[in-house]
Amino acid sequence: MSAAPGTVLVVDDDSAIRTVVAAALKREGHRVTTAASIAEMRRAMAIAVPDVLVTDVVLPDGNGLDLMPALLVDYPDLPVIVFSAQNTLATAVRATEVGAFDYLPKPFDLDVLGAAVRGAMARRTRRPAELPDAEVGGGPSLIGRSPAMQEVYRVIARVVANDLTVLISGESGTGKELVAKAIHDLGPRRRAPFVALNMAAIPRELIEAELFGHERGAFTGAAARVAGKFEQAAGGTLFLDEIGDMPMDAQTRLLRVLQSGEFTTVGGARTIRADVRIVAATNKDLSQLVQAGQFREDLFYRLNVVPVTLPSLRERRQDVALLARHFLDRAAEDGLPRKQLDRDAVAVMEGYDWPGNVRELENLMRRIAALSRDEWIDAHTIRRALGEASAAQPAPGDAAIEAAVRARLERIAIEEPHALDDGSLYDRIIGEVERPLIEAMLARNGGNQLRAARALGINRNTLRKRIDTLGIDMAGNRPDGAE
């Protein structure tokens, strides 16, 4: 169902944008007038009030957002679509706060603008959403200016003022909890508690008691009445993390609460009104769990009223540098030495795939801030730190050695098949491991064979023989007069 075309006033000081936007809207059948400043817009409005106003934020004679409250007093039903090159969550939220119908980050897709104008035409008689009086920027800082994050900001800006249930999906470490907290902190419930419960982190049999609380004696060990998360979060937001791990029984109870707005404590006849906003998160594909019969379809639809999908960090590589600098600044605020990233370091980080997403980047920056001696962080430091991070996980390290040995055997089998039978294999393969090991321990001990032998746990004479057999060059390893 599409709304009939109408009149649109486009305000931007860039004539190229005015022309392109006007042409695109005319193609959709709208009648378009344009203005290059607030003064021109005022004049155009005095002649004819458009059905929809489309305006840039930064204009030569003022700020389009500052103008909005007064504009909406004069024209309360006018839908205003704001676009801006200041692509931050604060701008997106502010646009919604001042009553904008929609917010589009620049550069925007003309199809997206067309859809926004059609939406505005269809709803032009509706009042703008009731606005929260949140301080802009008072919430947790969500960093990122990539198009994927702009889309996330748009959705957040639309839901902060209402109580719609939000389902956030995204890989681990993409910022799901931070987004949930932003929705809470920017909305009217922000003075009440934000309470989180992670379904994967507590024993399944305790989930219902955690959520709804329990009466004294409800089960073995329930010595006193305990308020559940629903009660603790009263007036605020309940964040249900890893919702895909919620057991079926608890899902059924949660669904009932969402339907009735009430819940009963475990083991009690007491019925309590639920006054929370629900934000749920998952790093699994919930619709797949529904298909597999592991998640209730009706609950999925109840939770998925407003879906927010967080991009993985490798899908928004252009944000890596911004995030890295943000985490280095935070580390410095916490008293760690202040560090700078050079260009090659950023290039290495932008090329890396970040399986642990933003959390991995944050940990890496803190580790480097704490451990690296130089003020400037270069590509080598990043590579080494990334290498250490993967080597710190025991299984992949062992697997890498195993894979290297297998690959070596395969090469010998192809290039020198006789070596598989001539009794030289043990010495060859072990020798290949032994040589770098002995060389490394000699270097570490300044060429001192006694200390190197002790570190290796072998007899000094054995070490000397192995040095001879393997033909290890001691030239660079001889300590002055020691050996």
Please choose, out of 169-177, 206-214, 292-300, 472-480, the segment that lies near ligand ATP by the rule CB under 6 A. 169-177
- Least separation in angstroms between CB 218 and ligand ATP: 29
User: Which residues touch 359 (CB under 8 Å, ≥6 apart)?
Assistant: 172, 173
Q: Please report the DSSP string for 257-288 in residue order.
A: HHHHSEEE-BT---EEE---EEEEEESS-HHH
Please choose, out of 46-54, 55-63, 354-362, 380-388, the segment that lies near ligand ATP by the rule CB under 6 A. 354-362
Please work out, in degrees rounded to the nearest 5, the angle formed at the alpha carbon of residue 80 by the alpha carbons of 162 and 140.
45
**Nearest to ligand ATP of 88, 96 (CB atom):** 88
**Nearest to ligand ATP of 178, 409 (CB atom):** 178
**Nearest to ligand ATP of 24, 143 (CB atom):** 143
E strand or H helix at 137: none
Subset of residues 52 to 111 that bind ligand ATP, contact rule: CB under 6 A: none
User: Which residues touch 56 (CB under 8 Å, ≥6 apart)?
Assistant: 11, 12, 13, 14, 17, 64, 82, 83, 84, 106
- Least separation in angstroms between CB 177 and ligand ATP: 4
Q: Is 144 in the site for ligand ATP (CB under 6 A)?
A: yes
Single residue of 24, 49, 143, 336 touching ligand ATP by CB under 6 A:
143
Q: Which of 480, 474, 466, 475 is nearest to 433 (CA)?
A: 466
- Least separation in angstroms between CB 421 and ligand ATP: 52
Please choose, out of 50-58, 79-87, 139-147, 267-275, the segment that lies near ligand ATP by the rule CB under 6 A. 139-147
Subset of residues 176 to 215 that bind ligand ATP, contact rule: CB under 6 A: 176-178
d(CA 217, CA 72): 57
Please choose, out of 91-99, 110-118, 175-183, 420-428, the segment that lies near ligand ATP by the rule CB under 6 A. 175-183
Q: Is 174 in the site for ligand ATP (CB under 6 A)?
A: yes
- Least separation in angstroms between CB 280 and ligand ATP: 12
Q: Which of 102, 178, 105 is nearest to 139 (CA)?
A: 178
Q: How far is CA 198 from CA 36, 232, 309, 399, in A?
A: 51, 15, 19, 32
Amino acid letter at 3? A
Single residue of 139, 175, 236, 447 touching ligand ATP by CB under 6 A:
175
Please choose, out of 26-34, 91-99, 170-178, 263-271, the segment that lies near ligand ATP by the rule CB under 6 A. 170-178
Helix axes 425-444, 394-415, angle to 10 degrees: 130
**Nearest to ligand ATP of 97, 177 (CB atom):** 177
Closest-approach residue to ligand ATP (CB): 175
Backbone phi and psi for residue 299, each to the nearest 5 degrees, phi listed first: -70, -40
Q: With contact defined as beta carbons under 8 Å apart, do 71 and 79 qualify?
A: no
Binding footprint of ligand ATP, residue count (CB under 6 A): 16
Q: Please report the DSSP string for 421-436 in residue order.
A: TSS-HHHHHHHHHHHH
**Nearest to ligand ATP of 67, 240 (CB atom):** 240
**Nearest to ligand ATP of 170, 236 (CB atom):** 170
Q: Is 228 in the site for ligand ATP (CB under 6 A)?
A: no
Q: Is 419 in the site for ligand ATP (CB under 6 A)?
A: no
Q: Is 172 in the site for ligand ATP (CB under 6 A)?
A: yes
**Computed from CA positions of residues 96, 86, 81, 117, in that sequence, does the dihedral angle turn out positive or negative?**
negative
Q: Is 244 in the site for ligand ATP (CB under 6 A)?
A: no
Please choose, out of 49-57, 75-83, 141-149, 272-280, the segment that lies near ligand ATP by the rule CB under 6 A. 141-149
Q: Which of 399, 421, 401 is nearest to 412 (CA)?
A: 421
Q: How far is CA 345 from CA 168, 350, 377, 413, in A?
A: 32, 9, 7, 40
Q: Is 362 in the site for ligand ATP (CB under 6 A)?
A: yes
Q: With contact defined as beta carbons under 8 Å apart, do 235 and 189 qualify?
A: yes
Burial of 290 (0-12, 13-18, 19+ CB in 10 A): middle
- Least separation in angstroms between CB 328 and ligand ATP: 12
Interacting residue ranges for ligand ATP, rule: CB under 6 A: 142-144, 170, 172-178, 241, 283, 358-359, 362
